[in-house]
Amino acid sequence: MLLIHCPYCDETLPESEFAYAGEAHIARPADPSATTDEEWRDYLFIRSNVKGAHYERWRHVHGCARFFNAVRDTVSDRFLTTYPAGAPRPALSDLEASE
Amino acid sequence: MSRFRVTGKGRVDHHAPVRFTFDGKSFFGLRGDTLASALLANGVHLVGRSFKYHRPRGIVTAGSEEPNALVGTSRGRGRFEPNTRATLQELRSGLVAESQNRLPSLKFDVGAINDALSPLFSAGFYYKTFMWPKGFWDKVYEPVIRAAAGLGRAPETTDPDRYASRHAHTDVLVIGAGPAGIAAALAAAKAGAKVVLAEETAEIGGALLSDPEVVIDGAKAWNWIAARAADLAESGVRVMTRTTAIGYYHQNMIGLAERLTDHLDSVPENAPRERLWRIRARHVVLAQGAIEKPLVFHGNDRPGVMLAGAAQTYLHRFGVRVGDSAAVVTSHDSAWHAAFDLQDAGTGIAVIVDTRTDVREDLVAEAERRGIRLRLGHTATGTDGRLRVSALRINPLRDGSVGNGTKVFCDCVLMCGGWTPSLHLFSHTKGTLKWDAENTAFLPDRKSEAVEIAGAGRGLWGYGAALDDGAKAGALAAEALGLSAAAPTHDVRQDRPGTGTAHEELPTDHDRGHTRAFVDFQNDVTAKDIRLAVREGMRSIEHVKRYTTTGMATDQGKLSNINGLLIASNALGKEPPKVGLTTFRPPYTPTTFGTFAGYHRGAHFEVTRKTPIDSWAAENGAVWEPVGQWRRARYFPQGSEDMDDAVARECRAVREGVGLFDASTLGKIEVTGPDAAEFMNRMYTNPWTKLAPGKLRYGVLLGEDGFIRDDGVIGRISDHRFHVTTTTGGAARVLNMMEDYLQTEWPDLDVWLTSTTEQWAVAALNGPKARTVLDGLVEGLDISNEAFPMMSVADCTVAGIPARLFRLSFTGELGYEINVPARHGRALWEALMEAGKAHGITPYGTETMHVLRAEKGFIIVGQDTDGTVTPDDAGLDWAIGKAKPDFVGKRSLARPDLVAQGRRQLVGLLTQDGKVRLDEGAQIVDDPNQPTPMKMIGHVTSSYHSATLGRSIAMAVIENGRARMGETVHVPTGKGVEAAVIASAVFYDPEGGRAKL
Amino acid sequence: MTRFSALSLVRNALSGNRDWDQQWPDAQPKTEYDVIIVGAGGHGLGAAYYLAKEHGITNVAVIEKGWLGGGNTGRNTTIIRSNYLYDESARLYDHALDLWEGLSQELNYNVMFSQRGVLMLAHNVHDVQSFQRHVYANRLNGVDNQWLTPRQAKEFCPILNISPDARYPVMGAALQKRAGTARHDAVAWGYARAAAARGVDIIQNCPVTAIRRGANGAVEGVETARGFIRAKKVAVSAAGHTSVIMETAGVRLPLESYPLQALVSEPVKPCMPCVVMSNAVHAYMSQSDKGELVIGSGTDQYTSYSQRGGLPLIEHTLAAICEIFPTVTRMRMLRKWGGIVDVTPDRSAILGKTPVPGLYVNCGWGTGGFKATPGAGHVLAWTVAKDEPHPINAPFTLERFTTGRLIDEAAAAAVAH
């Protein structure tokens, strides 16, 4: 069971309090009707599925109930950081530098 | 007292005999014995038959790595288990044990024919045959193979025992309470850390229990252990014995299995049998020691051939000599000590064979002093005996060649091929290992968790080294937590450090194509099987393992992995790390399913959600239906009614009088805030801006893919407040989806979402007499049709209870849904029943609800839709706010396939014979006479007998269904074909007048 | 290649089993092939075999980063069935099932395909509706599947608990009798041996690092740890790692990779005659020829390549197993392992051409890949050989995610109401 730091509660808590919510930083198009079928497909379905640092969303569903973002290494499952939804995407180089 | 029991030796109670049976024969052991030590004390080595060849097998080890001594044990009805490790099972009074995998008896087993045919059963033989004639595999060969395989028999009755589980947190978890583990725990605890020390066996001490003459800091080993036990207690260390660390999970969570009752003579009432611990440790110290390696030579599997260290343990820990005359074969110093100790206890040492010529002088001198025959630079090439070893064949090694063999008579052979660091748990962490050529072992390399490895696990040998390393690891763990720690050193006398060399198969003068030198005892894998696998092209150790099954027995390769690897790498001419090491996977030792299931059995498997009205339904004979986690009343049978009778009666009551339904399970979400209407506009397909407060609207929710996810009636309570209802199963999903969009896509919207599912109890009152029943109970609201028409919502009191009253209908009749605070749910229900008594009020369940709504053509999301249905498919195009620029799923509705012709549309379906009720799920075709595969044009989604209409009705999705009204289609039923006519799905009161009365 | 037979076993037994050939040579990469298949799992090796056998294309390399059959082929619970709802899926899986039935003879390698029957339990009214829908659709598609009452289900699998008092009582079951299990490793080895015998190179321990495209955009070959290897046609069949490889060709996929855990018990004498699956409680179980109870569960909740998997899922799975089979609580879990399954949004595979000329993809099998092995290999070979999809895999395009023409078996199973 992973331990996850909720950036809102500022506590590190067991995975069972959280729900995974897919890849992060995939914004819904501001005007979906203006998108092509291909653009809309990309938004709906295309995922980076990276092997390594993965930007992803979690929800502290059995806690503060808020969505937040995380960077997790999908090879080791280790979290590099978590940060509030809406915060800028942290650069990987910064995360590795702070290790 | 058996002559194999050594008076005064062992940690057993020589004055406490314990009776047990093995294969029906009665024996006595002593309190403190394991089943294995008790059998050995009675001179019993033969305990089982091997998996493939059914060869007679004896006890090999003294620990949980035992491959052979697996027996069935039982203690009364439901308490039988197969494959109990006799080496781990503590003796209890009345223990009933049976040998396994033999027919009819252990001493005479017909399966042993396989042994005679063993050249046929080489590695992978089953891949090469049993293919002809085709079809014989399942019917002839496989049943025979299956019957011959397997070890014990599966339990056949339900287990009466309970299983428990618990979480714990600690600063430092030390796994293994041998010398390194004890030293680590003490060093960490003395630095102020909170420490848990877990030990697989019944007491702490580890290898020291088998080496009582060692002197540590002036105390003999057992005294030292006793003093440290007191220290541990004083330092607040939690010592958990009979507790096996089974798995090392992410971020230092360790799963441990604690055995609570299997060692007790009788099971205390309600005591759990085993407990799963999930311990989250800030730091972990792995001090699991090392496991002795067998030597691989012809006949090394005969009963009486065992590990030298095991013999030493049986002697010192249990006071049991494993035989009268022992031949020792070794490539490591440690077996020499075992030989000396056994000789002191009265076992003759027939010979010490060491493959090395250059053995430590003090050992040689001591052996010579004792008059033990020594054969240095020799190899073992065979054993004699059938059910027990009677002789060992040994040969000199000269310049790489094997000389002539001689026989040494003996009744046991003690072998030692060196030791393998126990790194299973480390391996679970995905930490990397590196090959240590000198130790011929894999040692820990890169760590991926906060963990230290101590003692023999790091390839260190001797008590002094283990103790000091343990203390250092404990101190490091404490320092990692910010504590200042000291790592004391230990003064050890009579220490038994040692070294050795490793072999693949021992050199032999036999033709290697015909030697039976076992690598994996249980699975009957020999060295030549491994060489065969390599010859056939298996290059990686994973291939070799899978092809030969070496390392896949119940010891999971604890004894065989390194030997197998050395043989494979030798055959490939590659360094062992180039051939690879198979990954160890949890659990460390086999662990009962019950331990994992824990409390989650029977009614506790998953929570059962019950409504506030559930108790009334239970008292009134409801038949239940599980819906998600809820249980809901399906119908209320009276007298001898079956479901059809009861549902017909309940339906009639609603259509003609009044019925009452518990709708509390409906999901309810309160959407509030200045932007509530805008939020609803974006989430649901419908327009919400113009819905006046006090009014209701049916809402449809899509996924972003354009398919229907949920629906429900939504009330606007005020400008800034909506009361949203969802399907029973969809409540959590819908809330999650709403929160997702609100928090991450539209954080600018000023809206709050609150789940109120559990806050409201909901009674649905339906039928032409609904208002009559309700009228007398309502205060603060005029519920006349004019003042409170269809699709209205208002607050009032009902039966004196504050209520939010909805006027809506899911039945087609005049209807109300009365929401009251949950705690008043049953009171409301009873008040309604009382008020309705004069009008024949009838409680009804989900089945009746389903029939009534189907008569009206109202869909159930998840039944009439399935995640591939658009609003238009479901005939809900009217519910889409066409003028809205956007809502969730809108863009997807414009995708090519969602606007294509020929989509399946929801329609009604009437069988030509009204007595026939189609099965839900039945498929629809145009031409029932076409050949298979048939072109299916749709399927039946809902189907009931309608008492109201006096015939069956159905809903279905059919390609272009709405354009085909009145056409006949066909439903193959498996027994025949039913013709049915496509019709409107609204079968009853199509004008909808009855709900507006 | 020595033909395997009872006779060859006896002959070799008499000579100390010293004369068996290598089942496949450890090939060194050539500089150029007609077709390169990335990933030596059952699907990739199967495709190579059928390319050689049915299309006469033998200048083929199967390139594997580890050892052949070491991915999901060797990490699954070996269940084979074809009782899928949609015509497209039923056709694909039934094509595979047809091939399974003759596979041991076809490959001269006993893959131990055992048609023991797969029983899918219905635990609520919704399950009953859904499984009935499957039974009806399968029957009309010529796929065997039948509906059993709880009592009939218990007759078929006596250790099943059908007590109406169970937390999730059994309300019926769908049975596909032709379904069953096979020996997973043997499938990979059998295809490897048969493909190698027809001239296919199987190159192990050779990670493909990138797909190289030429100036015209078409595939030119693959970059590997052992250098560039030229080929005009490349098929990627790398399960959980497909996204990473395809990205190098500029093709992004609708895939996510999740850990899937499975476990086995210690071996016991035969106690379970079939495969039992329960979607409602998320667990399934069968007994292997060796006697182990083989148990599978759902995926972990987060994407991962770690193959570690969490304890809670194992706890839940075994609790579910103990509910369905109350006599097994004293059985012991021997080992558990994790695979990485690549999952598409509609839980159906992508098998066909890509926007890149000469590049083909076979992925997204989720938890259903093993059962499709011969079928997937067979139609992938066709697609590569003819540069157009076989009618059976034609619906399993990448384009369906644009048009919305999904093949959504999971959605068809729908949600509770």
Cβ distance of C302 and A20 shorter than 8 Å:
yes
Return mean pLDDT, chain C.
Answer: 94
Percent of chain B with pLDDT over 90: 91
List the chains bordering chain A where 3 or more Cβ pairs fall under 8 Å.
B, C
Compute the nearest-CA separation of A14 from chain C (Å).
11
User: Which ipTM was obtained for this model?
Assistant: 0.97
Q: Spell out the residues 6+ positions from residue C62 whose beta carbon is closer than 8 angstroms to its own.
A: C36, C37, C39, C40, C44, C45, C48, C68, C192, C195, C200, C201, C202, C203
- The verdict on B670 touching A (C-beta cutoff 8 Å) is no
| Straight-line distance from the first to the last Cα atom of chain A, in angstroms, rounded to the nearest whole number | 22
Percent composition of chain B: helix, strand, coil (DSSP 3-state, to 5): 25, 30, 45
Q: Spell out the residues 6+ positions from residue B853 whose beta carbon is closer than 8 angstroms to its own.
A: B810, B811, B812, B860
- Residue B969 pLDDT more than 50? yes
Chain C residues touching A51 at Cβ < 8 A: 241, 243-244, 305
Return mean pLDDT, chain B.
Answer: 96
Q: What is the pLDDT of residues C375-393, one digit of tens each?
A: 999 999 999 999 999 999 9
Q: Which tops the pLDDT comparison, C260 or B281?
A: B281
- Residue C416 pLDDT more than 70? no
Give the closest residue to B712 by CA, choosing from B722, B657, A83.
B722
- B215-216, strands of its sheet edge to edge: B219-220, B215-216, B492-493
Distance CA B895, CA B332 (A): 73
Mean pLDDT computed over B593-602: 96
List the chains bordering chain C where 3 or more Cβ pairs fall under 8 Å.
A, B
Q: What is the pLDDT of residues B618-664, one digit of tens each?
A: 999 999 999 989 999 999 999 999 999 999 999 999 999 999 999 99
What pLDDT, on a 0 to 100 scale, did the predictor assign at position C298? 82
What pLDDT, on a 0 to 100 scale, did the predictor assign at position A98? 58
DSSP H/E element including B336: helix B334-344
Q: What is the pLDDT of residues B836-867, one digit of tens each?
A: 999 999 999 999 999 999 999 999 999 999 99
CB of C212 within 8 A of CB of C221?
yes
Q: What is the pLDDT of residues B191-200, one digit of tens each?
A: 999 999 999 9
Cβ distance of B82 and C416 shorter than 8 Å:
no
Query: Which of A46, A67, A82 to mutate to test binding with chain B, by most B CBs within 10 Å of its CB?
Result: A67
- The verdict on C401 touching A (C-beta cutoff 8 Å) is yes
- The verdict on A57 touching B (C-beta cutoff 8 Å) is yes
- Provide the pLDDT confidence category of residue C412 given band limits of 50, 70 and 90: low
Cα of A21 vs its chain's centroid, Å: 7
- The verdict on C301 touching A (C-beta cutoff 8 Å) is yes
What pLDDT, on a 0 to 100 scale, did the predictor assign at position B121? 85
- Provide the pLDDT confidence category of residue C415 given band limits of 50, 70 and 90: very low
Cβ distance of B743 and A57 shorter than 8 Å:
no
Long-range contacts of B700-703 (CB under 8 A, 24+ apart): B700/B871, B700/B876, B700/B879, B700/B880, B701/B726, B701/B734, B701/B737, B701/B888, B702/B870, B702/B871, B702/B887, B702/B888, B702/B889, B702/B890, B702/B892, B702/B893, B703/B888, B703/B889
pTM summary value = 0.96
- A70: closest chain C residue by CA: C302
CB of B374 within 8 A of CB of B367?
yes
Q: Spell out the residues 6+ positions from residue B523 whose beta carbon is closer than 8 angstroms to its own.
A: B50, B51, B52, B549, B550, B552, B553
Cβ distance of B537 and C22 shorter than 8 Å:
yes
